[in-house]
Amino acid sequence: MIGLKQKLDYSDYAAVPDDGCRYEMVDGGLLVTPAPSPLHQRVSKRLQRCLEAYFEQRGLGEVFDAPVDVILTPHDVVQPDLVVVSQPTQVSERGIEGAPLLAVEILSPTTRERDRTIKARRYSTLGIAHYWIVDPEARGVECYALQGPQYVLCVEGQGPITITHPHFAQLTLPLSDLWL
């Protein structure tokens, strides 16, 4: 006897029609997100440049921007706004395979709650070592690091200040560059 399918998996995700929407799958459930705003895209682009200057120029990793599939499990395929991959073998034809070094979510009115709860919990459970939340409206950045089973805030900043990340030597982020 064939039972009912309890969770969606990668094969279901791969069959989602290309209708212009952004889909993600978290613990077997499908999430749909509208296109990001111009402010969101500006902040993403500026932060991506900072991350590329740090990680790529030092040979520490590669930075990807959405949409790129991050395949964490057969039931978890996400598209963080920015991703840093430190292991080149994780990059495949399908996307990023396994937990990246860093996932960045840039909050929007439709994703704010989801990024702070559902995705944060799932990212920590699945071993993403660093998770950053960027809030364009509040002009703030929160950097979390995985300690045991959960994320712990390691540095945050708001407004036109510069923050230095304690886990990445010499990584400084002049936040004013993000909010121009």
Pairing of the two strands 96-97 and 70-73? parallel
Q: Tell me: the pLDDT tens digits for 12-57?
A: 999 988 887 789 999 999 888 888 899 999 999 999 999 999 999 9
Q: Tell me: the pLDDT tens digits for 106-127?
A: 999 988 999 999 999 999 999 9
Rounded Cα distance between 134 and 108, Å, is: 9
Place of tokens 């598209």: 79
Vertex 33: Cα angle to 118 and 156 (nearest 5): 55
Higher pLDDT, 84 or 35: 84
Rounded Cα distance between 63 and 83, Å, is: 6
Cα→Cα distances 79→90, 147, 156, Å: 15, 23, 23
Q: How far is CA 172 from the centre of its chain?
A: 19
Rounded Cα distance between 126 and 99, Å, is: 7
65: Cβ contacts below 8 Å, ≥ 6 apart: 44, 45, 48, 81, 82, 83
Instruction: Show the DSSP H helices in 85-135 as ranges.
Output: 112-116, 118-125
Domain segments of the chain as ranges: 36-177
Tell me the sheet residues that pair with 146: 151
pTM: 0.93
Task: Report the CATH fold assignment for 36-177.
Answer: tt1808, chain A (3.90.1570)
Q: Tell me: the pLDDT tens digits for 130-164?
A: 999 999 999 999 999 999 999 999 999 999 999 99
Q: Structure tokens of 32?
A: 């749909």
Task: Check residue 2 and give its pLDDT.
Answer: 61
Average pLDDT over residues 77-106: 97
Cα→Cα distances 84→31, 96, 119, Å: 22, 10, 17
Residue 169 has pLDDT above 70, yes or no: yes
Task: Check residue 22 and give its pLDDT.
Answer: 85
